[in-house]
């Protein structure tokens, strides 16, 4: 009896150990670090993929659910939103972003309802809450594009040195992807991987310009494509492009310093009416009540709001200098 009991315990232990091992191997084969890295790279390729390219790589996953994936593919301009997520560098799918948007809209509407606000205010709060996730994605994209713009001259110099050392253009892309600084290195690494997967150099470079919509990088792409058609010293051309980009960034930094006072004045003038109105409302609520209880006051508020919006737009155009 004791022997059978011990054998039973041993077999139970082996069964549990083999079950855990099988579960781990299954998870590692579908959700492991290496598999996730490969899936992210394959999805990144499809951000600028053309219809004429390989069919099994052009579709980027919008959701982990097949039914939700099919539903999202029927929505107009859904790939534009997916491309925005790719450019922001955030590890989100379109379904995740839409879910956060819906939760933010419901939260904004619920907050207004708890405060006893009318329906129109609830709808406004829902719209504002729904725009918040998109605002954070645009902010992440802007920060990432600014980093790439600053790092681009160094990456181009690295490619130029590789070409001078005798490497081919694809080898120079690989060196920029390996030895470069993130996030610029990841974009060049994706371009090199696309070429290795059989995409032509022209299509791979055009995909790079789609994933990274920066003027300086587009100049680099156009210069490389023209050089491949007409010939010439590509290393010398890349040296000139990197020097031109550095000069432009230096001039832009000087302009930002010189226009700092104007930008600060614009921020102060734009926030001053709202700040003063809030302080008066907190100190003496009855003083401003006539603005939304009297019809003439409501008309004055609408006119003032329109003039403030126009003034903010004009000031934003005055302080925005393109180089």
- The secondary structure of 264-290 as a DSSP string is HHHHHHHHHHHHHHHHHHHH-HHHHTH
At residue 167 the predicted structure's pLDDT band, cuts being 50, 70 and 90, is: confident
Tell me phi and psi for residue 74, to 5 degrees: -85, -10
Q: Are 146 and 152 in contact (CB under 8 A)?
A: no
At residue 34 the predicted structure's pLDDT band, cuts being 50, 70 and 90, is: low
pLDDT of the residue at 255: 80
Is pLDDT above 80 for 92? no
pLDDT tens figures, 169-207 = 888 888 888 887 888 888 888 888 888 888 888 888 888
Mean pLDDT along residues 3-20:
68
Predicted model pTM: 0.64
At residue 62 the predicted structure's pLDDT band, cuts being 50, 70 and 90, is: low
Q: Report the C-alpha gap between 234 and 236 in whole angstroms.
A: 5
pLDDT of the residue at 25: 67
pLDDT of the residue at 321: 67
How many CB atoms are closer than 10 A to CB 307? 11
CATH topology of domain 147-257: Receptor-associated Protein (1.20.81)
pLDDT of the residue at 33: 61
Q: Which of 62-71, 151-160, 236-245 has the lowest mean pLDDT?
A: 62-71
Residue partners of 123: CB distance under 8 A and separation at least 6 = 109
Q: Are 167 and 146 in contact (CB under 8 A)?
A: no
pLDDT of the residue at 51: 42
Is pLDDT above 60 for 319? yes
Mean pLDDT along residues 115-128:
81
Is pLDDT above 60 for 110? yes
Chain-wide mean pLDDT for the chain?
A: 77
Name the more confident of 153 and 78: 153
Name the more confident of 19 and 84: 84
Q: Report the C-alpha gap between 245 and 99 in whole angstroms.
A: 40
Q: Are 175 and 157 in contact (CB under 8 A)?
A: no
At residue 35 the predicted structure's pLDDT band, cuts being 50, 70 and 90, is: low
pLDDT of the residue at 54: 39
Q: Report the C-alpha gap between 275 and 152 in whole angstroms.
A: 41
At residue 47 the predicted structure's pLDDT band, cuts being 50, 70 and 90, is: very low
pLDDT of the residue at 57: 38
Q: Which of 3-12, 73-82, 93-102 has the lowest mean pLDDT?
A: 3-12
Q: Are 157 and 142 in contact (CB under 8 A)?
A: no
pLDDT tens figures, 256-278 = 787 777 778 778 877 888 888 88
């Amino acid at each position: 009896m004791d022997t059978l009991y011990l054998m039973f315990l041993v077999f139970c232990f082996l069964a549990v150990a083999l079950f855990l091992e099988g579960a781990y191997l299954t998870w590692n084969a579908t959700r492991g670090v290496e598999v996730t890295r490969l899936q992210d790279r394959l999805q990144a390729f499809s951000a600028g993929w053309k219809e004429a390219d390989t069919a099994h790589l052009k579709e980027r996953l919008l959701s982990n659910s097949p039914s939700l994936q099919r539903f999202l593919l029927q929505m107009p301009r859904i790939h534009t939103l997916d491309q925005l997520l790719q450019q922001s560098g955030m590890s989100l799918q379109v379904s995740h972003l839409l879910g956060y948007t819906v939760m933010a809209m419901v939260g904004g509407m619920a907050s207004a309802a708890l405060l006893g606000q009318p329906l129109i205010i609830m709808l406004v709060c829902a719209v504002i809450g729904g725009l918040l996730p998109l605002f954070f994605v645009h902010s992440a994209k802007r920060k990432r594009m600014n980093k790439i713009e600053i790092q681009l001259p160094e990456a181009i110099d690295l490619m130029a040195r590789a070409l001078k050392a005798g490497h081919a253009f694809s080898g120079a892309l690989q060196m920029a992807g390996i030895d470069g600084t993130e996030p610029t290195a990841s974009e060049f690494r994706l371009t090199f991987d696309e070429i290795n997967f059989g995409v032509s150099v022209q299509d791979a470079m055009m995909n790079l310009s789609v994933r990274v919509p920066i003027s300086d990088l587009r100049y680099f792409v156009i210069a490389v494509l023209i050089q491949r058609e007409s010939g010439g010293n590509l290393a010398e051309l890349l040296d000139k492009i990197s020097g031109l980009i550095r000069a432009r960034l230096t001039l832009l930094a000087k302009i930002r310093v010189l226009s700092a006072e104007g930008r600060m004045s614009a921020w102060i003038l734009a926030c001053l009416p709202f700040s003063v109105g809030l302080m008066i409302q907190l100190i003496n609520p009855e003083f401003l009540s006539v603005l939304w209880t009297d019809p003439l006051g409501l008309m004055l508020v609408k006119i003032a709001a329109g003039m403030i919006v126009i003034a903010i737009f004009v000031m934003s155009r005055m302080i925005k200098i393109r180089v």
